[in-house]
């Protein structure tokens, strides 16, 4: 079973299905109506606090960058990276 969600108004017993779902036209569907509470719809969006920051230096003294990391890359590797090969 597939499901879609959209907001609409009921007009004389008819709910208009958005055009981007026209492949659903003419198919048998199950309809569940949920009345949008006007008080709820006017409520402000809840304030979500940002996640706590991760501590700095978690891997300090557990990992060391090898000196080779700072050496220049070979030309053929640079050319490949830049799409020249």
The pLDDT, as a whole number, for residue 67 is 93
Give, in order, the Cα–Cα distances in Å from 14 to each of 22, 38, 80.
16, 21, 61
Structure tokens at 62: 């557990």
Say if residues 4 and 24 touch (Cβ distance below 8 Å). Answer: yes
Collapsed DSSP state (helix, strand, coil) of residue 77: helix
The pLDDT, as a whole number, for residue 41 is 55
pLDDT per position as a tens digit, 66-78: 999 999 999 999 9
pLDDT per position as a tens digit, 10-45: 888 888 888 888 888 888 888 888 887 765 555 566
**62: pLDDT strictly greater than 80:** yes
Which helix (H) or strand (E) is 11 found in, with range? Answer: strand 10-11
This prediction's pTM: 0.36
């Amino acid at each position: 079973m597939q499901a879609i969600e959209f907001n609409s108004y009921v007009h004389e017993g008819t709910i208009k299905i958005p055009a981007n779902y026209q492949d659903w036209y003419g198919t048998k569907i199950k309809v569940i109506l949920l009345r949008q509470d006007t008080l709820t719809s006017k409520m402000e969006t809840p304030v979500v606090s940002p996640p706590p920051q991760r501590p700095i230096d978690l891997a300090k003294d557990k990992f060391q960058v090898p000196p080779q990391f700072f050496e220049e890359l070979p030309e053929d590797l640079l050319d490949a990276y830049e799409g020249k090969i």
